[in-house]
Structure 1
Amino acid sequence: MTVLALLVIATLGSASCSAPAPAPAPLPPPSGTYAVVVDAMSGDMHLVDTRTLAEIGDPVKLQGFPSEVAVSPDGRRAYVISPTSNTLQVIDLRDRRAVGDPVTVGDYPSAVVVSPTGDRVFVADGQSDDVRVYDSSSLRMIGAPIPTGDGPAGLAITPDGQWLYLTNQHQNDVRVIDAQTQEIVGEPIGVGAGPGRIVMSPDGSRAYVANVNSDDISVIDTRENRVAGAAIPVGGYPYGMTVSPDGRRLFVTDQASSDVRVIDTTTQQALPDRITTGTAPSAVASDPQGTEVFTVNMYSDDLSGIDTQSGAVRRSASVIGHGPRGVALVEIP
């Protein structure tokens, strides 16, 4: 065999054994406000430009049926829970890639929030009946699981990061957890039937609870940890909620009636007009300016944007995954 032939064989062998070059990271999205949407049925995450309601780049594949998403205060990471795989997954929103491997949490995670400082992630587990706390950098669990009531479903944190408010769907109450000591404090706060999602007012003085089985909203005075006033009737199966940045309006998605109700938080009365969305709106989030709120519509597979002054609705022209369940808004500089 000639020297040339040997060189050719060596070159071919070397080329065939070399590892393929890694795919280049996607370009960061342009500056703006984006909706981070997670889809249960298609098992992925989408980034949607709120100006155009158009998707940016390709979806990010996730484990299981992702249901809820929370974004870090600096807007760099999304934390996604999947109840079917019992996992917490972290996505870098700049390059739209997973950060590390999925973290195993408790049984059937139902809610996730990030501390205001961004150093802690809290996950409520609906079947193991606990809350678990994770370091956001290492994703290691801090301390032991915190036992809760039966069927924890919703989780909110006060703006100072001191207190967690947790709904127990099967006991019709709310528990308060000291986020520092990781202990439940005080007595359970009785609310409506089947409490699900819970959100905090911007100043932390009120917590709003969506009661899916009594079709109403309970208001909790967080200074005294008691219910303030009568429950507020809304539409069928209230699911998602968001409070306007000035705290004056509460927006509630009604899955069974496919609309959004607006509540005046001063009078604690629902405004008379219903705002029709796509089919079965689930989660809802407000933009930072309070000019528009966005719902993900589980059965029409799209996104609705609602003008908070006029009530005018615009909808995404294309499908946003399949079975969208969770949404969070993020500003990317």
Structure 2
Amino acid sequence: MRVINAGFKSKLIDLGRRGLQHMGYCQSGPADQNSYKLANLLLRNAPDAVAIEIMFGGLELKIEQDMLLTLTGADCDLYIDDKHYTINQIVSVHAGQYVRVSAPRAGLYSYLALSHEVVSPLHLNSVCAVERERLGGSENNGVGLKAMQCIELANRHLEPEQLSYVSILNESPNQKALDGIMTPISRCVVVRFVPGYQYSEFTHTQVALFKGQKHEVTHHISSMGVKLKGLPIDIGKVTMYSEGISKGAIQVTPNGQAIIMLHERQTIGGYPKIGSVISADIPILAQCQAGTHVQFVECDVDTAREMLLLRHDKFQRCFGLS
């Protein structure tokens, strides 16, 4: 398979690098883990199978062997040559055909999963390219896919029941069942967070201002984090030691604005943290385009865990894995 156009930013991903943050490496992986997981489950791939993450669309590929593929995530269109498909469909493609992903109408990240295994070098047990760390990717320099790059695929034999499953899943009623597990994408979202241990250092007025307003997503969006804009939360001059940062951490900067740290964040930071976005809602935040309004709602750890388990259960039920 050959890359004709890599679009704004496209790269191979898996579940990322785990257990290495103490060494200074971010966990990487998909921005929207929900959509990545859905793409692989649709094709009955392994949960950590390599897929292609596409930011802002624009990816174009030339297929060099017959296979199945599916596109999930952002609200965009998939084209096989000139034929149009929507997301969450399983599509059969043949050698010589071209695959193109349009720019999204809503959302940021799309996930293209293939029925054939992607062969790519592992760096610290992952294919993920992290530009800031200059780690991963085909040349281990942190660079994602490039035009004219070849992606090597291993053959995978598709069983008759898998092909039968494809035709069943593409039927309308079964597509509707996916609505409950797709990442919701909107211009106004509600995101839940768990207070952190520095929460008590914020005044009641500061907490009320943070929770009581709709923050706007700025154009400063990346796999490292999302910068928000709103009424400033005046925390004055705060001096603190740098410390480890969790995924979803909500940092309040000296200018009173919030930054949400995502999967390719730096491993330490020194801004006060009011809490962390719960795992189940991080995909929602990651898919927010600039201009989206975000309302934060406080919840406890038990609720956060319950929401994560509920999402897992929905996947299990939808795909008959329970």
Taking structure 2 as the reference length, what is the TM-score of the superposition? 0.23
Greater share of helix: 2
**Structure with greater contact order relative to length (CA < 8 Å, sep ≥ 6):** 2
Higher Rg of the two aligned structures: 1
Greater share of strand: 1
